[in-house]
Structure 1
């Protein structure tokens, strides 16, 4: 149609044994949407059963846009009519550069392993954020990259998926993207230069808040302060030392006596700016801790299946819910009323748990595992993947883990 394309895909007999540990999904739906003259989106989904998809789409800009006039579109989407192999490409109309080209093959779509590969226009690839260091996966997933083309033009690709994933750059040059859940959902941005890519990319996901002027200047941060003595700089960060028993939204009224007065005095006299650290893991063993009591009363914490031993449960706020948003804002306001900070340092909100003990199951110990998974356990140093989340308990942590950096607090 003039809004996009669709194709029904059926798994070949010869591909049914591609994966030994799980069956591939046999019926898929390939969809293309022409969003704007420079942006095109394509998805590959299970044709018969709904699967988890990133639940923040309703707040993204431009999601309902469509460019029906093909003369304005700067790209063409060509789908192979060869019934033996499914492949497609997205090509610039003016230069004929292929910005996404699956003729390299490599499409796999199973319940807990999805893969798509593409040839690259050049070897000049930038982005992705954290991949891994040595043999261990680290904190972040930022599934977006930019390719600088031979004529100086550029394009960007967003892999819109929040499950565990990794990428491999191949020598052709080519790229293989793998994920352990969800669907294959991509946004392609065809642009004049890298700056133009970022402009269009942020037109979809939202623009960054402009940092304050003081945030660009000289600042000091350290762990190990034992009191308010020597807290004197242009901009001060305070690590977890200031908290009462390391409990969020509190301060140690003994070691840091006079901290509220110091904030107010230095802000007025010296134009000093203050940043407090928060680690969004709420202590649950102190009956006097109001932050936990209010969270428990308002049902904002992650839930657990019976398969996880109560002594192994860890209860951070359930970040992808509106209840957590309201709760977090209230706690921040209460803290700001006492310590009038200028900004917050949101730390370890993956969420982090150094002593994760999880039962044997296909989510914490997926059948197909990257060699880069710490200790061969997907939940190492974080929440068990079987933890229950969402307004109606509709998600597993397995699916929404990577959203914590976006929506927590």
Structure 2
């Protein structure tokens, strides 16, 4: 038995060929390849860990049975579902709440929505995800580290408790103390995933629970000098897998434009590091907020760091 580790952050693909053989194609980046000869599975693992170091060790409870979903109407509904599983004798170690949401956008107090204005007339790239307004994506490559500091502070405040002003409590004139003493964090959609990029009629236009806000449009006209980032000469699997029903696909399909800038870098070069950079800041937030290693579950990740969820 042997193992191979390839480290390359650009879009790439691997295909099989007669021989037998593997064909690796990539559109850029620095290509590092490592082979671990073993020959036993145990020795392969030892050789691999000698290269990357020991991986993230979650809390013991994080290795157990978990129940997780989104769309709970409120906390009481979540409690009822957990209790139903316990009564049925279904093993359960962890319960995760992806998010609890209002059924309709008109139920959200206007004062709350006003706390998150659009960043018009700025250089911030906006996409579409779950909120009923456009979404900005934190720049964790910010050289001043202010983004990470802000991110950590928000998690600490959420865990230790924050005093919500009257605009958030609607009927209560006094400050409402809000506290969620969580034990772990799940970060999702952090590829980052964006709805309907470059599409004229994205799927959420037919969804009654999501407003028809304009999708992100990237420079995909071949005459545009920035189009080279979304339309490199070779189309990897990440591009053509989404081409169907005559709909063209690009590197930015279902994500941000490749010409975007993170820190001092093009998103073209950092896209596959976005999940890692966000999870790294979140892991530090977990430590600062709880004082324990807990568990950080992330959908986009790199080797060694964090726990991974696949959907």
Query: In structure 1, what is the equivalent of residue 218 of structure 2?
Result: 358
Matches within 5 A, 1:135-154: 148=1, 154=2
Query: In structure 1, what is the equivalent of residue 266 of structure 2?
Result: 396
Q: Does 1:328 align with 2:151?
A: yes
Moved runs in structure 1, 4+ residues, more than 6 A? 243-246
- 1:186-205 per-residue CA deviation (whole Å, 9 max, x = no partner) reads 22333332232233323333
Is the 8 Å Cα contact of residues 350 and 382 (structure 1) preserved in structure 2? yes
Query: In structure 2, what is the equivalent of residue 83 of structure 1?
Result: none
- 1:94-127 per-residue CA deviation (whole Å, 9 max, x = no partner) reads xxxxxxxxxxxxxxxxxxxxxxxxxxxxxxxxxx
Is the 8 Å Cα contact of residues 302 and 389 (structure 1) preserved in structure 2? no
Q: Does 1:238 align with 2:85?
A: no
Deviation (angstroms), 1:371:
5.4
Is the 8 Å Cα contact of residues 388 and 396 (structure 1) preserved in structure 2? yes
Is the 8 Å Cα contact of residues 11 and 236 (structure 2) preserved in structure 1? no
For the structure 1 residues 372 and 383, does the alpha-carbon distance in structure 2 shift closer, same or farther, using more than 3 Å as the test? closer
Is the 8 Å Cα contact of residues 302 and 388 (structure 1) preserved in structure 2? no
> Scaled by the length of structure 1, what TM-score is found?
0.44
Q: Distance in 1 between matches of 2:50 and 2:20?
A: 29
- 1:167-206 per-residue CA deviation (whole Å, 9 max, x = no partner) reads 0122211111111111332223333322322333233333
Query: In structure 2, what is the equivalent of residue 341 of structure 1?
Result: 182
Is the 8 Å Cα contact of residues 385 and 396 (structure 1) preserved in structure 2? yes
Q: Which runs of 5+ in 1 are unaligned?
A: 1-147, 149-153, 247-251, 255-284, 305-312
Is the 8 Å Cα contact of residues 6 and 33 (structure 2) preserved in structure 1? yes
**Greater helix fraction, Structure 1 or Structure 2:** 2
Query: In structure 2, what is the equivalent of residue 70 of structure 1?
Result: none
Q: Which runs of 5+ in 2 are unaligned?
A: 83-91, 126-133, 161-178, 198-216, 221-226, 244-248, 283-311
Q: Distance in 2 between matches of 1:330 and 1:203?
A: 34
For the structure 1 residues 371 and 160, does the alpha-carbon distance in structure 2 shift closer, same or farther, using more than 3 Å as the test? closer
Q: 1:193 is matched with which residue: 37, 40, 53? A: 40
Q: Distance in 1 between matches of 2:46 and 2:74?
A: 45
Deviation (angstroms), 1:324:
3.0
- 1:238-263 per-residue CA deviation (whole Å, 9 max, x = no partner) reads 122258999xxxxx999xxxxxxxxx
Matches within 5 A, 1:149-168: 154=2, 156-168=3-15
Q: Does 1:226 align with 2:77?
A: no
What RMSD in Å do the two structures reach over aligned CA positions?
3.3
Is the 8 Å Cα contact of residues 354 and 381 (structure 1) preserved in structure 2? yes
Deviation (angstroms), 1:221:
1.8
Q: Distance in 1 between matches of 2:150 and 2:54?
A: 25
For the structure 1 residues 317 and 203, does the alpha-carbon distance in structure 2 shift closer, same or farther, using more than 3 Å as the test? farther
For the structure 1 residues 339 and 253, does the alpha-carbon distance in structure 2 shift closer, same or farther, using more than 3 Å as the test? farther
- 1:288-310 per-residue CA deviation (whole Å, 9 max, x = no partner) reads 24xx89xx9xxxx9856xxxxxx
> Scaled by the length of structure 2, what TM-score is found?
0.56
**Greater strand fraction, Structure 1 or Structure 2:** 1
Equivalent position SS for 2:76: coil
Q: Does 1:203 align with 2:59?
A: no
**Residue-pair matches, total:** 203
- 1:52-93 per-residue CA deviation (whole Å, 9 max, x = no partner) reads xxxxxxxxxxxxxxxxxxxxxxxxxxxxxxxxxxxxxxxxxx
